[in-house]
Amino acid sequence: MYKPFLLLCAFLLASIAIARGHQSATQEKSGSAEPTMTPEDVAKKNPIAPTPEGLAEARKLFGYHCAMCHGKEGDGKGDLAQEMKLELHDWRDASSIGKITDGELFWIISNGKGKMLGGEGDRTPEKMRWNLVNLVRSFGKKGAPAGDKPKTENPQH
């Protein structure tokens, strides 16, 4: 005779449990939305060697997603950067990011940093993000600043 009451209790308990489970799942998600750079990230080596093809592909994506801030040639003077009054590094001077490791560049490209919101994260395959690191470095290689290179190196390189 208490059956309906018991059923109601069971139903209530079940819905509370489901709601709790849901809540903790969404909490976990929002917790991981703020990634932090670990020493392992900083120490990561670029597994992708720069190739003309890889750089060309990265340059295409760079034109769509990055040039409005970082400038087509990496000078940091894109339209959006000017509008937002961002002070960006001029990557044509390799020393501007000389102290930043490839791992850090990769992490920032993947996750964004400060006013560089979001980053490429999952929308761009890992290999392409390493190619973007190569591209960012390549901007500084053309007009490499004097005194930065070992004297024995062939200037054609």
Task: By CB under 6 A, name the binding residues for ligand HEC.
Answer: 65-66, 68-70, 80, 86, 88-89, 97, 100, 105, 108-109, 113-116, 120, 132, 136
Give me the least distance between CB of 22 and ligand HEC, in Å please: 34
- Using the minimum distance from each CB to ligand HEC, give the nearer residue, 87 or 153: 87
Taking the C-alpha atoms of residue 86 and residue 76, their distance in angstroms, rounded to an integer, is 8
Instruction: Check: CB of residue 142 under 8 Å from CB of residue 93.
Output: no
Q: What are residue 113's DSSP bridge partners?
A: 116
- Using the minimum distance from each CB to ligand HEC, give the nearer residue, 51 or 95: 95
- Using the minimum distance from each CB to ligand HEC, give the nearer residue, 3 or 99: 99
| Closest-CA residue to 108 (of 55, 70, 151) | 70
